[in-house]
Amino acid sequence: MLQFLIRRILLLVVTMLITSVIIFALTQLLPGDVARLILGRDASETALNALREEFGLDEPVPVQYVNWLGGFITGDWGRSYSSGNPPVRPLILDRLSNSLRLMLMTLIISIPLSILLGVIAALRENTWIDNTISLVSLSVVGLPEFVTGLVLVNVFALGLGWFPATSLVSSNHQLGDWLRILFLPAITATFVLLGYVSRMTRAGVLEEIRKPYVRTARLKGLPQWKIIVKHVLRNGLLPTITVIAISIGWLIGGVVVIESVFNFPGLGALLVEAVKQKNLPLLQACVMVVIFFFAIANLVADLLYAVLNPRIRLQ
């Protein structure tokens, strides 16, 4: 198991290094002069050159990459090109904490519900229960996120007044405040995940319950719940784990539409702002953080694979 873990960690490091090269190269290809974008069209050449020297933009591209990567690893993520040139790291960590809260809330709601619906649909294959679950889950997945979000806002925020219409956050919020703020965005994200996770769970469970070892367990008189929980789910959830791992990265930096609908200050909204402003240090650091969480989620998924199915780590 230790060797398996070491191999996966080394693979993660190599993946992050390759990704960092790609991210840096792509940001360098963005059109426009950063120095002129910051100082304006009327800036003198002397001022432009001084700014390029201050931010290291006058260095060769390979040197810029090495300096940027070394700084990122040591915690110096550079300074934003926005007004005042604030450090990038506090900006990202503040938004990241909000995105992590939203991700956790969404997973707490969506994963148990999706797995439960998938198992029920598999055990009631081709019945009205299975058809209803499939129809509802696929229908909510097909709805655009902004439509779902606006409906929830109009019904539960503006209509019933149960939740706030916008997700304005504060450092003074208590747990109850966070739950009310995060509930509607989390439900909107849950609708996106529900169909994928439940359908993947259904397929995995169906594949397992048709195997000989399940029939043997039934002939031995084991209760249905024990067969499902201790045997079927152990193997049937492997494809579901992959979907959940991918969803974690999406929840960290990809829920831009949901953040826009609820005015939620998450990492995805910050990433869009960085692209619009051509704020290279902020853009590079945002993407690296999102990719890091993708990689960590996949590492955790690999470890869960190895725990649930030891043959994987032996291979």
Question: Would you state the pLDDT for residue 292?
Answer: 86
The predicted model gives 13-23 an average pLDDT of 87
Q: Which residue(s) pair with 79 in the sheet?
A: 87
Angle CA(79)–CA(254)–CA(86) in degrees, nearest 5? 15
Q: What is the pLDDT of residues 236-257, one digit of tens each?
A: 787 788 888 888 878 887 778 8
Q: Which two tokens stand for residue 155?
A: 């019904």
Confidence of residue 202 (pLDDT cuts 50, 70, 90): confident
Confidence of residue 312 (pLDDT cuts 50, 70, 90): low
Determine the Cα–Cα distance for residues 88 and 300; give it in Å rounded to an integer. Answer: 28
Domain ranges of the chain: 2-74, 88-314
Nearest to 163 by CA among 176, 188, 151, 180: 180
Confidence of residue 42 (pLDDT cuts 50, 70, 90): low
- Helix (DSSP H) and strand (DSSP E) numbers for the chain: 16, 0
Please determine, for residue 315, whether its predicted confidence score (pLDDT) is greater than 60.
no
The predicted model gives 205-211 an average pLDDT of 82
The predicted model gives 272-290 an average pLDDT of 83
Q: What is the pLDDT of residues 75-131, one digit of tens each?
A: 888 777 776 678 888 888 888 888 888 889 899 998 899 889 888 888 888 888 888
231 secondary structure, DSSP code: I
State the pTM of this model.
Answer: 0.80
Determine the Cα–Cα distance for residues 98 and 201; give it in Å rounded to an integer. Answer: 29
Fold designation for 88-314: MetI-like fold (1.10.3720)
Determine the Cα–Cα distance for residues 92 and 141; give it in Å rounded to an integer. Answer: 30
Confidence of residue 194 (pLDDT cuts 50, 70, 90): confident
Question: Would you state the pLDDT for residue 280?
Answer: 80
Determine the Cα–Cα distance for residues 29 and 38; give it in Å rounded to an integer. Answer: 18
Q: Which residue(s) pair with 87 in the sheet?
A: 79
Question: Would you state the pLDDT for residue 169?
Answer: 66
Q: Which two tokens stand for residue 53?
A: 């020297």
Cβ distance 1 to 306 under 8 Å? yes
Place of tokens 């965005």: 185
Question: Where is pLDDT greater, at 183 or 143?
Answer: 183
